Chains A and B, each alone.
Chain A
Amino acid sequence: MSLEKNQPSATTESSTLSHSANPGIQLETFYYDNKTVKLFAYATLFWGLVGMTAGLWAAFSIAYPQVNLGWAPTTFGRMRPVHTNAVIFAFVGNAIFCGVYYSLQRLCKARMWSDRLSKIHFWGWQALILLGAITLWAGFTQGKEYAELEWPLDIALTLLWVVFGANMLGTILKRRVQHLYVAIWFYIGTWVAVAMLHIVNSIAIPTSFLNSYSWYAGVQDALVQWWYGHNAVAFFLTTPFLGLMYYFVPKAANRPIYSYRWSIIHFWSLIFIYIWAGPHHLLYTALPEWAQGLGTVFSIMLIAPSWGGMLNGLLTLRGAWDRVREDATLKFMVVALTCYGMATFEGPMLSLKSVNAISHYTDWTIAHVHVGALGWNGFLAFAMLYWMMPKIFNTKLYSKKWANTHFWLGTLGIIFYVIPLYTAALTQSLMWKKFTPEGILQYQFMETVTTIQPMYVLRGIGGLLYISGLILMIVNLVKTVRSGKLVANEESQAAPLPKNYESHGKKEHWHRWIERRPVQLTVLSLIAVGIGGIAEMVPTFLVKSNIPTISSVKPYTPLELHGRNIYIREGCYTCHSQMIRPFRDEVARYGEYSKAGEFVYDHPFQWGSKRTGPDLARIGGKYPDSWHYNHMLDPTSMTSGSLMPSYPWLFTDRIDKTKTYSMIKAMKKLGVPYPAGYENEANKDIDKQAEKIKQSLAKDKIKVSKNDEIVALIAYLQRMGTDIKNEKKEGSALK
């Protein structure tokens, strides 16, 4: 499997260690696998460019709706999940693997456990990303942010994660170094937590090969999703990069980490606390108060380990600041660590309810996330590549000047990206909340959008600067690669780790404990990340029996369910929330605030996290059917200046009624109380309800076929939030 096993001459070639404490110990010669590292580096650059270009597209399509092109795959609702998934799983994912494969081998003084697993891991991951991008563009999505991939891809991701884990643990177990350096702890913690989060959040009932419904509904789904969503940031974007930081910052600065003791406390407190903080994404929503409170408390606690880690990294550079002025790699690292510090201070601040009341659903969240993504992840990945690529190609960086130019393009890019969005966020939020002296809302939603539109353009320019820097880096690295030759198998020597201590009496136990340490670390990490998850999940699953039931909340009709599938497919949740918070302005603008009991049949929940457009929780019955028809065809015809894309294909594509059976069947499995055998009757009800909508449109001189997708979407939009209105009509009090 590995080169070591394939090359007996390599392992037999040995020399005697002259160390007095270990007389007679023979050095083993082995080879680091740089080929896989190179492949992951190339993939990082390629997918970085693809993912960020998709982001740039999405950014400009908000500023200029024409950029949506009136074509489904290029609309914001589909481009945004492609962007987020590509930058998280493809750009950052490949950067993690690249850095882990490089550093783990060297920290363990061993080649990766299995060349075959390395190959499967690399090519499997790229295939997964490609299929992920294609399916997301085609509209196959589970409709949960950063977890949009459909179930077959979720399974593939799980299997590939196991391959990565096996290869990593295999390497650790056959290492030639007794101590596990803290970077490896972070890698192990990452692996355990991501596995747990991904599996728990992705559980769904398939209705067809590329469609499924989340196992959870409403409030539970929201909590599980944001437990996942927050910890995807924690354990995919943070902990593995901290591991990389603990390896590459000392390497680039050529001095050991400032405090190794801090780094261990950093590790345990970070992985223990992070897992609890997810509910801070759901403040003021229908999520129970106690869970919201937990989210806030643990978010504040997070400042301590996060800043400990940041300071540890920055202080490592003490005495090397003169080099920071010259060396682009170190510059990138300093800004990366600073951005990590800013984002991890801002995050807890945003989880304070009073701040969150202003920031949530605005562009503040987007700015916050990009301080972390562009600054911390992007810059650390760039630093790592600038440092590593010349090494594995046994050459020098082609142009230090270009690297420095990249640094400034990137830094200015971040500034131009975030400042307009902070401005936009504050401006819009304050406008949303503004009342006239007479007590009426001062601004229409559209006015608040028009005001901040120039900020969206500026943000796009920031993104453009950042991508220009990336392109410059790619050219620089291509030229570097051409000037050198890959050292595919880098030779190294180390003494083997002694395995048998039978004759050492008491010491035997201690050494064996060390031997097992990676396994123990894995188990302890799982316990640490599991506790928070369980403590939040257990009561939440009990919520089901405790949610105040609203008798008038009924399951969706089959036509509405088809409409809901279209809503999810087009990524409407990326711009519209379905959650009215109990604030005076929100109730005045959108209607009665949302109740937990309203979402019991929402598989998946669609609360959203951003209001580029208005909240839709009570859109039902607000406008006539014809309004929705015209609005979906040409949004500006109904709302002057609207930034929403048009959806012309909904007027030609037909509702796929062959899927109704499996949709109803799956919902019944999830506990939605449709009558027995209803899956066979449902299509008749579709015809009846569609006919009504057709008639209603005909009154406004609009001709449709009752099988057009727009009819189903109108049915769903007109249903949203109306159950409670019915309850009021019936005169029964809400519990």
Chain B
Amino acid sequence: MKFINYLKDIHNVQIYPMITLLLFVTIFILATILVFSKSKKTIQEIKQLPLED
């Protein structure tokens, strides 16, 4: 029961792990960019939200 037995029937299977890896890396990079592109002021503002009653 090797990996290949289960996957050889899927058309162009080699592309799947590549897509997954790329998606993960993309999401991770996007999240990081999104986070660091926010101004310090905005971050401070959001941080205070739970404390503003």
- Which of A's residues lie within 8 Å of B, judged by CB? 103, 106-107, 177, 179, 181-183, 246-247, 250-251, 254-257, 260-261, 264-265, 268-269, 272-273, 286, 288-290, 293, 492, 528, 531, 535, 538-539, 542-543, 545-546, 548, 596
Contacts and interface: CB of A to CB of B under 8 A. Distances in A.
A260 B34 CA distance: 12
Contacts of A255: 51
A264 B33 CA distance: 11
Contacts, number: 85
B3 A289 contact: yes
A542 B10 contact: yes
A107 B49 contact: yes
Contact of B7 (A286, A531, A539, A596): A539
Given A179-B42, A269-B31, 14 more contacts: A177-B49, A260-B46, A261-B36, A264-B31, A264-B34, A265-B28, A268-B28, A272-B27, A272-B28, A290-B3, A531-B20, A539-B6, A542-B6, A546-B9
Interface in B32-48: 32, 34-36, 38, 42-48
25 contacts: A106-B53, A181-B46, A181-B50, A251-B51, A254-B51, A256-B44, A256-B50, A257-B47, A257-B50, A260-B46, A260-B47, A261-B38, A261-B43, A268-B28, A269-B28, A272-B27, A272-B28, A286-B1, A290-B3, A492-B53, A535-B16, A539-B6, A539-B10, A542-B6, A548-B1
A273 B28 CA distance: 11
B5 to A, nearest CB: 6
B9 A256 contact: no
Contacts of B7: 290, 539
Contacts of A264: 31, 34-35
Contacts of A261: 35-36, 38, 43
Enumerate the 6 nearest inter-chain pairs by beta-carbon distance, A residue then B residue, closest first: A290-B3, A256-B47, A268-B31, A181-B49, A261-B35, A260-B47
Given A264-B34, A528-B27, A251 B3 contact: no
A106 B50 contact: yes
Contacts of A286: 1
Contacts of A247: 50
Q: Which of B1, B42, B51 has the most CB of A within 10 A?
A: B1
Contacts of B42: 179
Q: Please classify the interface of chain B as helix (H, G, I), strand (E, B), loop, or mixed, using the class held by over half of its residues.
A: helix
Interface centre among B3, B24, B47, B48 (most CB of A within 10 A): B47
Contacts of B51: 250-251, 254-256
Contacts of B20: 531, 535
Contacts of A107: 49-50
B33 to A, nearest CB: 11
A187 to B, nearest CB: 13
A542 B5 CA distance: 11
Contacts of B44: 256
Contacts of A254: 51
Contacts of A182: 46
A251 B36 CA distance: 25
Nearest to A391: B53
Contacts of A542: 6, 9-10
Contacts of B47: 256-257, 260
Nearest to A181: B49
A265 B51 CA distance: 22
Nearest to B13: A539
Nearest to A182: B46
| Residue of A246, A260, A269, A288 with highest tally of chain B CB at under 10 A | A260
A293 B3 CA distance: 10
A288 B3 contact: yes
A107 B53 CA distance: 9
A531 B9 CA distance: 20
Contacts of B31: 264-265, 268-269
A293 B1 CA distance: 13
B28 A250 contact: no
Contacts of B1: 286, 288-289, 548, 596
Given A247-B50, A542-B6, A546-B9, A265 B32 contact: yes
A333 to B, nearest CB: 14
Given A289-B3, A542-B6, A179 B49 contact: yes
A179 B45 CA distance: 9
A538 B9 CA distance: 12
A638 to B, nearest CB: 36
A297 to B, nearest CB: 11
Contacts of A548: 1
A290 B35 CA distance: 34
A183 B42 CA distance: 16
A402 to B, nearest CB: 27
A251 B5 CA distance: 54
Interface string B12-30: 0000100010011001100
